[in-house]
Amino acid sequence: MPGFFKWYDVKFQPQNTILTLDYPVLKDLSSYSGIYKIYEYLRCLSWEQDFLAGLPEDYVLDVLRTSHPAYRDSMENLCEILFAVVIKHILANKPLSERIWEKRDLLLVKSVFAENDAPKIQRHLRYGVRSFLEQHYENSGELFTYLAESMGDILIRLKAAAENSSVLF
């Protein structure tokens, strides 16, 4: 990234330039503009690459091929797709190495949503995600902060999927 900013010249006011960045990231960048937005965008992409690189390649490809067959052309955030699957594993207390989802796994996740309110699930999940990241990643604090931005949305989708026995399971 430092090379990107090598030719930054404040006289052109790049910090005031409005940008649209097509690939969605998990952080809301609407309060940034210009060079600041580019910098934050690159940081987000770096965290996503760190997260994805920490997962086994065959696991990533298996998840993407199964859940999003057109993932190569998709405008969906690939990190979020994989993070949702990790969250699903955490909720079911299921190791990532167990890739086949059985009815009992769905019932376990359904019971988590049925027996707990949203704040309790969120606390449990924050603890589980933090533990997962600490076990698998160096400098997991920034990565956790970044990924945590999407936890609420992912939980809502997983709750709806579990309640409706959706394809997410």
- 138-167 pLDDT, tens digit per residue, is 878 999 999 999 999 999 998 888 888 775
Tell me the C-alpha distance between 117 and 81, whole Å: 24
Q: Are 96 and 83 in contact (CB under 8 A)?
A: no
Is pTM beyond 0.95? Reply is no
Tell me the C-alpha distance between 65 and 12, whole Å: 44
Residue 14 phi/psi, 5-degree rounding, is -65, -20
Q: In 3D, which of 94, 97, 95, 61 has the Cα closest to residue 78?
A: 61
pLDDT given for residue 37 in this prediction: 86
Residue 167 phi/psi, 5-degree rounding, is -65, -20
Say what the alpha-carbon torsion angle 113, 132, 141, 56 is, to the nearest 10 degrees.
Answer: -120
List, for the chain, all residue ranges whose pLDDT scores fall below the cut of 50: none
Say what the alpha-carbon torsion angle 68, 85, 121, 94 is, to the nearest 10 degrees.
Answer: 140
